[in-house]
Structure 1
Amino acid sequence: MKRTKEILTAVGTLACAVGIGFVMQHSEVAEQRYGASGLPVADNGALLEVEGITLTSAEFDSEIALPETDAQVVKASAPQSLPPAPESHSAVAPACEITAEARPVAAAMVKLALDANCLPNERLTVHHNGMIFTETTDDQGQLVVTVPALAQEAVFILAFSNGDGAVAQTSVPELSDYHRVVLQWKGEAGFEIHAREFGADYGDKGHVWSGAPRDMAAAVTGEGGFITRNGNTEAAEPLMAEVYSFPAAASTHGGTVALSVEAEVSEANCGLEIEAQALELRDSDKIETQNLTLAVPECDAVGNFLVLNNLLQDLKVAQN
């Protein structure tokens, strides 16, 4: 049966010369597109006019200081009995050794490994060429995570909130074969990248998003792109980064990949202004950046989706 779509175009306010197409899609349409499982539905089912989409020049700021490359922590040992006499000196514990390693893996990805045994279950922030996301060490103070590279000479800074951290770097020459688009935000903003490859509609095999992300194997074989997401959602106010990677040099198809950004109206973001930043890397080492501020409708619109067309440029792909 042919699907029908109820959409309402809303008015956006732009602070720079980039056009944003913006529609709200009713939760019934969302159910057709994404399936009925777990989707909330708006109480009154009304479609709302929404205003207040703004692209700004403000920087995406994590407010977390970067560590020096040789940063260390020195902590006084805890007293075991009575405090020492005034002329005595408490012992100083050995410095906390923090190490990090990076190595390239398939599809221009990098495997990061951090060892900070003195900082178990601690929040840290990973910085890489403009991309930033929050992670947490395990109970042994370790972290292993795979990250999309955004530079052929890739440098990663892993920073704890107390200023300690480590730096790791590696070479990723394979990156020149890929187009990469990053969307990053803070907290429960509800953003998603949607890539519809070569004419695919929502729900088709060529529709790639967090609900159907594919994996690195699809890119290695030239089948198409894949989605990854970095950031620990269990951390307080986490910084999240979602990345769509497309194997431009190995693609077995030619044509256009339509890219859009969507945000579900939820109890966590309704009635608020939410912010995101888009980073786009294509055909060169230069990253194009756009910043977005979006006014989310009130909570009677929970379950609807806001669709931002043209925030991301569609990919033009030549068949190989």
Structure 2
Amino acid sequence: MRALHKITTAAMMVTLAGMMGHVMQNASQFGLASQPAGLDVAGLTNVTAVANIADAPAGVEVTGVRMGVVAELPALPRRTVAADAAIGPLPLAEAPPAGFARCAAPTLKLAPAAGASVLLSISAPCAADAAAEIRHEGLVIPVQLDAAGDWSGLVPALAPVAGYALDLPDGQTLATAIAVPGLEAVNRVVVAWTGAPAFLLNAFERGASWGGAGHVRAEAPGVPDAAGTGWLLSYGLAEEGPHLQVYTAPAGLTGLALDLEAPVSDVTCGTDLRVGMRRVIAGRAEASEEIAVAMPGCDDRLGDVVVPLPDLPVSVATN
């Protein structure tokens, strides 16, 4: 814009100079050597109209013209170009709602474990904190996934080549299988039921008494890699969901007695309880059986109902 101001000023000065020459020439022609009093055109802005004296109407006598100094156009202050405001980094796009977040596909992994069992590992990020079910040879094993959607633990094997299926809450099912070495070297008893945790499986090894050394139960389950002793696995989540307990012992263990205990409570009194039993003897699975237990009335809520279970045969097929 400043360059345009310079050009405009120069053009006006050239025009004014031309008009001054024209006016002075006309003044000399008409003998206007001096300025008459009362006529002062200094500071007139419409100089072109005054300079064009030749165009004046007839009868008008011009007696004198004095041209004042033409004022220069005032210099406009220089404008300071404002600096562009800092924009800063563009905001990041918001993360999609949790319901639309993508997560890794679920996985089911199996590995052989001690005691002719299987270490089963679940990874299901989309099912964090959810309950899931593992199915194997007619058994339903309930498990609780953690905040990352993971679960890992021992599960029993009822067949030399054991297949497992994982049922997730969203309807997905994963299935895989694994060979289980050493199944012929153990005896295994499974009791399973649906509903309240109404049963307790007890194993008395080598003539053990109640609560003594060798009494394997939920409160003292033992460990699978202890030589010459048995161990117990327990599963169950919801009051009305599936429950099961699995006892495993070396096939050559002697002096072993098993029973099923049903405590009398507000939930069990006056009812007929039913529980299924499965056995694997030296690697051979037997047919399942159902055991019915008639519980005493609710006027007598003390004590337990104890049901003896068949003895496990002693096998020499053990290491």
Q: TM-score, normalised by structure 1?
A: 0.63
- One-letter amino acid matched to 1:172: V
Deviation at 1:163, TM superposition (A): 2.4
- The two structures, once aligned, show a CA RMSD in angstroms of 2.7
Is the 8 Å Cα contact of residues 185 and 241 (structure 1) preserved in structure 2?
yes
The one-character-per-residue Cα deviations of 1:164-208 (angstroms, maximum 9, x if unpaired) are 121132221111111000011122242111112232222331222
Identify, as 1 or 2, the structure richer in strand: 1
Give the corresponding residue for 1:230: 235
Mapping for residues 98-113 of structure 1, pairs under 5 Å: 98-113=106-121
1:173 maps onto 2:173 in alignment: no
Mapping for residues 147-226 of structure 1, pairs under 5 Å: 147-218=155-226, 221-222=227-228, 224-226=229-231
Is the 8 Å Cα contact of residues 126 and 157 (structure 1) preserved in structure 2?
yes
The one-character-per-residue Cα deviations of 1:35-86 (angstroms, maximum 9, x if unpaired) are xxxxxxxxxxxxxxxxxxxxxxxxxxxxxxxxxxxxxxxxxxxx98xxxxxx
- One-letter amino acid matched to 2:286: I
Deviation at 1:93, TM superposition (A): 7.8
1:133 maps onto 2:141 in alignment: yes
Distance in 2 separating the partners of 1:204 and 1:279: 26
Mapping for residues 29-108 of structure 1, pairs under 5 Å: 97-108=105-116
Give the corresponding residue for 1:300: 299
Is the 8 Å Cα contact of residues 141 and 243 (structure 2) preserved in structure 1?
yes
Is the 8 Å Cα contact of residues 114 and 142 (structure 1) preserved in structure 2?
yes
- One-letter amino acid matched to 2:259: S
Distance in 1 separating the partners of 2:191 and 2:314: 19
The one-character-per-residue Cα deviations of 1:96-144 (angstroms, maximum 9, x if unpaired) are 7221001011111211111111111222111111221212211211111
CA spacing shift, 1:96–1:268, aligned 2, 3 Å: farther
Distance in 2 separating the partners of 1:93 and 1:225: 46
- One-letter amino acid matched to 2:235: N
Q: Looking at both structures, which has the greater relative contact order when contacts are Cα pairs under 8 Å and sequence separation is at least 6?
A: 1
Distance in 2 separating the partners of 1:314 and 1:260: 12
Distance in 1 separating the partners of 2:312 and 2:209: 15
Is the 8 Å Cα contact of residues 116 and 186 (structure 2) preserved in structure 1?
yes
List alignment gaps of at least 5 residues for structure 2. Answer: 1-95
Identity %: 29
Deviation at 1:242, TM superposition (A): 0.4
**DSSP 3-state at the match of 1:118:** helix
Q: TM-score, normalised by structure 2?
A: 0.63
Distance in 2 separating the partners of 1:317 and 1:152: 17
Give the corresponding residue for 2:87: none
Is the 8 Å Cα contact of residues 162 and 178 (structure 2) preserved in structure 1?
yes
- One-letter amino acid matched to 1:174: G
Is the 8 Å Cα contact of residues 160 and 283 (structure 2) preserved in structure 1?
no
Is the 8 Å Cα contact of residues 189 and 274 (structure 1) preserved in structure 2?
no
- The total of aligned residue pairs comes to 223
Give the corresponding residue for 2:260: 261
Distance in 1 separating the partners of 2:184 and 2:282: 7
Is the 8 Å Cα contact of residues 112 and 119 (structure 2) preserved in structure 1?
yes
- One-letter amino acid matched to 1:275: R
Give the corresponding residue for 1:289: 288
Give the corresponding residue for 1:51: none
Is the 8 Å Cα contact of residues 96 and 118 (structure 1) preserved in structure 2?
yes
**DSSP 3-state at the match of 1:107:** coil
The one-character-per-residue Cα deviations of 1:224-272 (angstroms, maximum 9, x if unpaired) are 211111233xx352211101101125x5xxx331111111112222222
Distance in 1 separating the partners of 2:266 and 2:297: 9
- One-letter amino acid matched to 1:316: V
Distance in 2 separating the partners of 1:187 and 1:285: 29
Larger Cα-atom Rg = 2
Distance in 2 separating the partners of 1:315 and 1:256: 10
Distance in 1 separating the partners of 2:170 and 2:290: 28
- One-letter amino acid matched to 2:275: A
Is the 8 Å Cα contact of residues 163 and 175 (structure 2) preserved in structure 1?
yes
CA spacing shift, 1:295–1:155, aligned 2, 3 Å: same
Give the corresponding residue for 1:309: 308
